[in-house]
Structure 1
């Protein structure tokens, strides 16, 4: 039962040649290949006549786990060579690894993970011994640039050293145990015929040891695990590209510069070196970079010299790259050359170096044979795009008030949610808060579209189902990031996918209910409330999903607000806006969503009267109560008797009720209750004017509240909260504006300078037309004519005025000190 084990590095031309030569020489009965065993019944799909690179894409989704992985293959992949040469010599090829959805692959994005990356100590010692920079340069030095004599022995020695006696871990142990059962079964089935096993080099020592020990039964072919009930997934071929294969672009399981290795596979070392120089020169010249014949001669000479010094029979990849960098880059580099380390191209790389790396990467894109089976989503998407007239190149301007444009917009947003390239939205509504009802889209063909749609097929069979599942995943991943959650919900509205699963709804409520910050949570509530109230275009009006989010957000905002302390903290627009959004939710959705107004008013009452709460939050809490409290309904007084009339004092008084004060006479004679100190103001904030009214339902006295809260260093912050929550109420009570005029006019120059920045921020909550109304009232209060608009536009900067006031006070003080004051 001769079994030949070949350990390989994935996407290595040297290993691919060794596999091809071994199979051609041995002509085995079976060729076993590291690959997903559940794809064995469909191996014929791999031979349909594709243009490589392609990949086997596998997906898995259940209630607890999501997984996606790719097994890419190109012309010089050892796995592809094993498949094609097995068929050429009449051998039976079989994939022998666990299915890619198996828990053993959890957390592994790409099926082919290089073992040497996990055993950095060994690699570090080898790189130091051979005086090379990294594992890729080491691999080229030992195998790609070396003689083919004794290649198999050198590979075995290399992978034995990499494996050592390290514990492979549960994942690799499970995979190797399963692959060993395939080896034993193939050896038993082959009899005296050879069997060739092609796997990643890290697994080879374990498979050899298991086979030598003979402890694995080989009576039957191993069973292939099936997906659990309720799970969704499968495997399909997808087009791939050299860009996705390139380690410089983030692919960690392969080799860098796939374009170079393709040439190395097709043309040998001399041809690959020549092609590399030509590709770099052509690319740089297209970008108007000066590359002369002298540059190329210098690069060639340097590469030849480096190859000799490094012991290479001909210039290899890094020899040529170093030669080109020496000839073409004349200034100091801010970052190391990318091929001196393993990983993605670093930020700040020299532009010429970037172009060199891109030239080596190559532009090849794979293409599937037209008869290749595809997931149902591919066909459903084609039908949806054709039906909506979106299957070509177009620049679309969609009017969302038109039914036919809304249908097209929903299709495009579902495609966008799935990340399918070639569909770009240039403008349109972003949050639901802005009054934007038009969208502009750019539709262009993309070579990556088919692979993206096949991969998106893991979410569902139809465009609607797949987009809904993708949004559910994003909602789950948002966690406590309520800004991300708001984006997901609005994307769902744009795509007309507001009916979500109960599990997703529970996740969303949990995320909102555990959000840590008032600002983002307030923004989310404002967006969701707008969609709930006005979402007729998007089908979100009175949505049960959004209603649940609103209710959870209201509860969380009130809970977070009551825990905020820090009496000297400046105004925070985010937390003020959060209370404003909560106020709006109670005002517009209290009955439909059974929100608890009384509980909210109780919280606001506690905030408004707590001196440890920041002033902006106290002001916002008072404005919250003022804007939500019912208007006064005082009991009509009994008709006066004759004795009452005879005993009544013969003096006039300013009426105390808001309705009575709102007269021309009252506007010029503001009420000014005698409040001895600002400490007493906290009681005034909570003092109902209707006898017997409770804290939450009482009618508040805003004049006493403003007077009590007007402390120069924090007045503007308190007013910012008040104006944000009760702007309309302030305008409806002229005596409040009159009191503010009185209080600000009485400030000293120093106090005015202290209060000015926060006061200006506070009055920004009034839009221009309302600021004009306030200005007109102030002019009328002083008996002055003129336009409020002119008053706002004219005059000096308030800061300049305040500085002048301070100078006047200083001059007066000096005059008094010298006895010169009149």
Structure 2
């Protein structure tokens, strides 16, 4: 006798549906469990019961010849399909998927555009959102709230599966004809159900979306259903499991079957007793608030629970939902401040969980793609570290570099880019290669961005671009995309750069964008990608930064001054590296010159500006000596004098060894100081020259005193030096010489 078929219409990722389904399966004890899903991936279903499988996870199917053509089927702990699969494995029931094979779905994706019937079906409001139609009929504003009240959060929902089937039957009588694909899906499921009923010696449980229940309950001839499946496109597919994340289960991520609050739905599943569900959720809110440094009393939590239940009663809901608990938490725990709630809402409602898959999982497409590219580029993964030098002018060198840069974008640092050495060319890269076992896990985790290395790297960079608030960070991401030969991401980055630059007036932000932009222009020489847009954009940003610099450099504290100093030095290097038009460079140097005469300019910034102008030969040695004397005059506050001297000479102490005019200018200023001023500034001198090692200090003293030694008496002063240098300064320099000799 064929097995009796029982249809369970569920909502994907519904904890209430999952709980009622497990109860129904326990009561029915079916011999076979059939689940809506790609039939050709049924052999992977039992892996859901593997102890090493940690939700959220997703069933990934992809075309073997075109991995970009892929589909994900996510599962959470509270997904009814997931619980049904675990029940079947636990009770030894037959288990398989019954929906159209993935080979059909992916083949359809690669085929021609949708036909008219499919287009009309997708525009039908009932077919597009049947739950929303039921909610509207019940007086609800959205389907989420109605479904939660009736099923997910209702302590006594009654016979929900029969009620859902009746409701869907009524809805389907109001809709038009099905799309070609939907008709084929339901035909395939009917065929599979009939086969399972014929072969089973006990009840058959069918777990499917609520919308399909009436169609699967219909009696159709086998021949008519097979006719609907004729001529369907097919491709060769592969399937595996991939880790998923809680944020990607949210509807806000773009996932059509997602839920509004994955964190709340996980809480509904984990908290079995509905009487304590609201108090447990409020306890979580209190814990998170306290971890953020907020004071939350137990009395406030009790009041929040009372308020949430009162709100639920006023709104006619069977129990407080996350909206009522949110409102009561804002009122009682957040002092009425919505900003406090917004600070913790994502952690509570969305979550940050990441799934894990067993070690026995079939090879994921990113790993397969990596193996293909390793063979193509002749790069063998090795556990021992080895050096690799690439010439980007060769096809093989460029291909290897591109692969390593794409992996770096995926946080898989198989190769780490080493310093280029003395060469300033753009056609050579030095890498240190070392393969670590965890890199394979990271590749699997990146499947959420794409099923090929190029697609995943591009997707990850584009996602970072969309959330990057800083112009400099955006420029760095654009540079990474261009170096990795990710044309789509590069184009998106350049467009975003142009838009953000037009809206940015902050000097530090503009300066921070110049180094990565210079790298883009520089690497454009050796890469296939082009950067014509940036050739015009970078000069514009330089001019904007030059106009803003004199105002941005005024009256800064130590931390802000240090940050701006680093940005100015980075911008100077970028401007020289990019070889911009001389007029643009002159604009930049003009802005630096203005800092020298601005009494409000922070002195360390003015010192950096003076050094850059001196190095560019726009400030002569005599003028530098006069400037030093003015900026470090006895009446100048010690902090201002120290800042200018440090900015002027920091990291350039070595230059005093070789640059006679600069050394003589400093010499002249030091010799002009009286004893009290010299002693006051000794800590400053010590800090500036501390960057010199013992050998460099000795060479500097050689240059100052002359190269002749006179045994144990130390350095022999040049003729006239004793008259030029006051006695107190000679003694100090002799002490410095002794320190250099130790």
**When the two structures are superposed, what TM-score results if normalisation uses the length of structure 1?**
0.48
Per the alignment, do residues 46 and 425 of structure 1 end up closer, same or farther by CA in structure 2, a change over 3 Å counting?
farther
User: Which has the larger Rg?
Assistant: 1
Instruction: Provide the C-alpha distance between the structure 1 equivalents of 2:414 and 2:253, rounded to a whole number of angstroms.
Output: 21
Q: Indicate if the aligned counterparts of 1:34 and 1:200 stay in contact, CA closer than 8 A.
A: yes
Q: 1:362 to 1:470 in 2, by over 3 A?
A: closer
8 Å Cα contact 1:276-1:359 kept in structure 2: no
Are 1:53 and 2:27 counterparts? no
Paired position in structure 2 for 1:239: 243
Q: Please show how residues 708-719 of structure 1 align to structure 2 within 5 Å.
A: none
Question: In 1, distance between residues paired with 2:301 and 2:400?
Answer: 53
CA gap of 1:387–1:407, structure 2 versus 1, over 3 A, is: farther
* C-alpha separation in 1, matches of 2:151 and 2:224: 33
Q: Which residue matches 1:369? A: 358
For the 8 Å contact 1:247–1:254, the answer to whether it is kept is yes
Change (3 A) 1:317 1:96: same
Matched, 1:30 2:19: no
1:694-773 alignment to 2 at 5 Å?
none
Distance 1:205 1:132 in 2: 24
TM-score by length of 2: 0.53
Structure 2 CA distance for partners of 1:372 and 1:444, relative to 1, 3 Å: closer
**Structure 1 residues 422 and 444: alpha-carbon distance in aligned structure 2, compared to 1, 3 A threshold:** farther
Asked if 1:299 corresponds to 2:300, the answer is no
Matches within 5 A, 1:493-512: none
The structure where helix makes up a greater share of residues is 2
Choose the corresponding residue for 1:174, options 167, 184, 191. 184
Which residue does 1:165 correspond to in 2? 175
Going from structure 1 to structure 2, the CA distance change for 1:252 and 1:273 (only over 3 Å counts) comes to farther
Give 1:156's aligned residue: 165
**Partner residue of 1:358?**
347
- State how 1:174-323 maps to structure 2 within 5 Å: 174-190=184-200, 193-209=202-218, 211-212=219-220, 216=224, 226-227=234-235, 234-247=238-251, 251-266=255-270, 267-323=272-328
The aligned residue for residue 408 of structure 2 is 416
Q: What's the RMSD between the two structures over aligned residues?
A: 6.3
CA–CA distance in structure 2, aligned partners of residues 20 and 359 of structure 1 = 26
| Residue 188 of structure 1, CA deviation | 3.9
Q: How far does residue 245 in structure 1 lie from its aligned partner after superposition?
A: 2.1
Moved more, 73-82 or 307-316: 307-316
Cα 1:294–1:168 change in 2 (3 A) is farther
Shift of 1:141: 0.8
Using the alignment, how far apart are the partners of 2:450 and 2:137 within structure 1? 48
Per-residue CA deviations over 1:415-438 (Å, capped at 9, x if unaligned) read 233466999999999xx9999999
What's the CA shift for 1:59? Answer: 2.8
Distance 1:116 1:444, change over 3 A: farther
- The residue matched to 2:273 in structure 1 has which SS? helix
| Structure 1 residues 280-679: aligned runs within 5 Å | 280-331=285-336, 350-375=339-364, 377-378=366-367, 387=383, 413-418=405-410, 449=442, 451-453=444-446, 458-459=451-452, 466-467=453-454, 491=480, 530-531=522-523, 540=526, 545=528
Which stretches in structure 1 are left out of the alignment for 5+ residues? 109-113, 334-349, 391-397, 460-465, 479-485, 534-539, 562-570, 578-719, 726-766, 777-785, 794-822
Number of the residue aligned with 2:41: 39
Q: CA deviation at 1:301?
A: 0.6
How has the CA–CA distance of structure 1 residues 410 and 527 changed in structure 2, closer, same or farther, with 3 Å as cutoff? closer
Q: For the residues of structure 2 that align with 1:472 and 1:297, how far apart are their CA atoms?
A: 45
* CA offset digits 1:288-328 (Å, max 9, x no partner): 11211121111111122233334445434333333223323
Q: Is the 8 A contact 2:389 2:431 kept in 1?
A: yes
User: For residues 245 and 292 of structure 2, what CA distance do their matches in structure 1 show?
Assistant: 23
Q: 1:142 aligns with which of 144, 150, 157?
A: 150
Rate the CA distance shift 1:116–1:161 in 2: closer, same or farther, 3 A. farther
SS class of match (2:62)? strand
Q: Is the 8 A contact 1:54 1:368 kept in 2?
A: yes
The equivalent position to 1:97 in structure 2, one of 95, 99, 120, is: 99
- Following superposition, the deviation at residue 242 of structure 1 comes to 2.8
Rounded to whole Å, the distance in 1 between the matches of 2:86 and 2:164 is: 22
Deviations 1:755-800 (A, max 9, x none): xxxxxxxxxxxx9799979x99xxxxxxxxx99999999xxxxxxx
| Cα distance in 2 for residues equivalent to 1:467 and 1:294 | 54
Q: Matched residues in 1 for 2:248 and 2:123: separation?
A: 20
Q: Distance in 1 between matches of 2:166 and 2:329?
A: 34
Matched residues in 2 for 1:16 and 1:490: separation? Answer: 47
Residue 664 of structure 2 is matched in structure 1 by none
Q: Distance between the aligned counterparts of 1:722 and 1:143, measured in 2?
A: 71
Contact persistence 2:331–2:337 (CA under 8 A): no
In 2, distance between residues paired with 1:469 and 1:307?
44
Unmatched 5+ stretches in structure 2? 115-121, 393-397, 466-474, 503-514, 544-579, 586-611, 629-742
User: Could you report, residue by residue, the CA deviation over 1:336-372 in whole angstroms, capped at 9, with x for unpaired residues?
Assistant: xxxxxxxxxxxxxx23244145224445432222333
Shift of 1:145: 2.6
**How much does 1:35 deviate?**
0.9
The verdict on how the C-alpha distance between 1:474 and 1:168 changes in structure 2, with shifts beyond 3 A counting, is farther
Count of residues in correspondence between the two structures: 511
Question: Judging changes above 3 Å, is the alpha-carbon distance between structure 1 residues 385 and 162 closer, same or farther for their aligned structure 2 residues?
Answer: farther
* Cα separation, 2, equivalents of 1:222 and 1:75: 37
Aligned mates of 1:181, 1:3 — CA distance in 2: 13
Cα gap change, 1:263 to 1:457, in 2 (>3 Å) = closer
Deviations, residues 375-416 of structure 1 (Å, cap 9, x unaligned):
3754979997762659xxxxxxx999999xx99998763323
Aligned mates of 2:490, 2:343 — CA distance in 1: 43
Judging changes above 3 Å, is the alpha-carbon distance between structure 1 residues 239 and 118 closer, same or farther for their aligned structure 2 residues? farther
Q: Is the 8 A contact 2:130 2:211 kept in 1?
A: no
1:48-67 deviations in Å (ceiling 9; x for gaps) = 3222222112233767x933
Question: C-alpha distance in 2, partners of 1:298/1:121?
Answer: 38
**Superposed, which structure 2 residues align to 1:87-126 within 5 Å?**
87-100=89-102, 102-104=106-108, 126=134
The answer to whether the 8 A contact 1:32-1:198 is kept is: yes
* In 2, Cα distance between equivalents of 1:468 and 1:126: 40
Distance in 1, matches of 2:216 and 2:361, equals 34
1:366 to 1:145, Cα distance in 2 relative to 1, 3 A: same
How far apart in 2 are the matches of 1:136 and 1:386? 51
* Cα distance in 2, alignment partners of residues 162 and 467 from structure 1: 44
